[in-house]
Amino acid sequence: MTTEAVATDLQAFTDDWREWYRAQEARLAAPHGFLAVTGLHWLDDRPQRFPDAPGTWRTGPDGVVVALADDEKLVVDGTLARGEHRFGVLPERGSVEAVWGDAVIEVAKRGGNDILRPRHPDAPLRTAFTGTPAYAPDPRWAVTGRYIPFDEPRPTTVGAAIEGLEHVYDAPGRIEFELDGRQLSLTAFPGHGAGRLLVLFTDATSGVTTYAANRSLALEPPAADGTVVLDFNRATNLPCAYTDLATCPLPPAENRLPVAIEAGQKIPRERGGS
C-alpha cells in the first residue's frame, strides 16, 4: 500500500472516530441525558416527597405509585396523569420516563430496588459540561478477536458504583484476543440490539488517565466464524464517571486487564481529568 493510501485510510479512520465521539457526547449532554440527573431517590413503602419531582412516591409488591396534588400533573406515555398514578412492577434494568414541564422523571429498577431519577435540563452538571477528554484515535487499538459462546448463558454477579448494590447479567460468552503479544480475554454481556455485545473492563490506565471503576466497550454482532472487532478507541465512560447519581455496574473480576490500553475516553474533567 502506498504512503498516500495509508494516509487516506488513517484520515477515514480518524473521521469515523470523530463522528462517533460527537454523537457520544451529544447523547450524554442531551437535555434529558445523564448529565441532567439531579437526584437518585430510593423508594420504599413510606410515602416520600422530593425537591426535584412532583407528588408523593412509594413502592411495594404492586410496584411504584405516585400521588399527585391537585396542582400537579405528569405525562406518562403520552397520557396526562393526575391524582394517583400506578407505574406497576418494573423489570430489572427497566425504566419509565414521565414528563413534568421541561423535566423528565425517570422511574426505574436497579439491583432489585425501585428508584426515582429526575432529569432537569438546567442541572449544573449539564450546563457546565465542556466535553470529555479522550486519547487521539489510533488504528493499533482496533484489534480482531474471537467470540466463544458459553454452552448456556452464565449468570454473573457484579458490584455497582453504589456500595452494597449488585447487578446480575447473563453472560453469553467470552472474547479472546491478542494485544501487544499477550493473550487476553473478556467476559461479554448482552449489548443494546440483537446480537450486539458489551464488555466492561479496567486496565493499567484505570485510575491514572482513565476512570478507575470501569470502562465500557460496545461491540457489533460477531461474524459467522466468531470474529469480532474490539475498537478500544471507542471505549467509553459510564455515567458514574461523571456523577455519583448513577448505579453503574462494575466489571467482573476476570475483565481486569493487565495491560495499558491508551485509547478511548479519559477521566472526565468533572472528576479532575484534563
Reported as a pLDDT band with limits 50, 70 and 90, residue 240 is very high
What's the whole-number mean pLDDT along residues 44-73?
97
Closest CA to 202 of 180, 222, 187: 187
pLDDT in tens, 118-158: 999 999 999 999 999 999 999 999 999 999 999 999 999 99
Average pLDDT, the chain: 95
| pLDDT recorded at residue 272 | 81
What Rg, from alpha-carbon coordinates, does the chain have? 21
| pLDDT recorded at residue 270 | 86
Phi (first) and psi of residue 168, to 5 degrees: -120, 125
| pLDDT recorded at residue 2 | 66
| pLDDT recorded at residue 271 | 85
Residue with cell 467476559: 187
Q: H or E segment at 228?
A: strand 227-231
| pLDDT recorded at residue 4 | 64
pLDDT in tens, 151-189: 999 999 999 999 999 999 999 999 999 998 999 999 999
Residue 6 has pLDDT above 60, yes or no: no
Pairing of strands 74-76, 79-81: antiparallel
Q: Can you give the residue ranges of every domain in the chain?
A: 34-127, 130-271
SS3 199: strand
pLDDT in tens, 86-125: 999 999 999 999 999 999 999 999 999 999 999 999 999 9
110-147 burial: b if 16+ Cβ within 10 Å, else e: bbeebbbbbbbbebebbeebeebebbebeeebbbebbb
% pLDDT > 90, the chain: 94
| pLDDT recorded at residue 5 | 58
% pLDDT > 70, the chain: 97
What's the whole-number mean pLDDT along residues 43-51?
98
Contacts of 264 (CB under 8 A, 6+ apart): 134, 135, 141, 210, 215, 217, 232, 233, 234, 235, 236
| pLDDT recorded at residue 76 | 97
Residue with cell 423535566: 103
Phi (first) and psi of residue 208, to 5 degrees: -110, -65
Reported as a pLDDT band with limits 50, 70 and 90, residue 7 is low
| pLDDT recorded at residue 9 | 83
| pLDDT recorded at residue 265 | 98
- The residues facing 117 across adjacent strands are 106
**In terms of DSSP H, where are the helices of the chain?**
3-28, 124-127
| pLDDT recorded at residue 10 | 86
What's the whole-number mean pLDDT along residues 249-256?
97
| pLDDT recorded at residue 93 | 92
- The residues facing 158 across adjacent strands are 167
| pLDDT recorded at residue 232 | 98
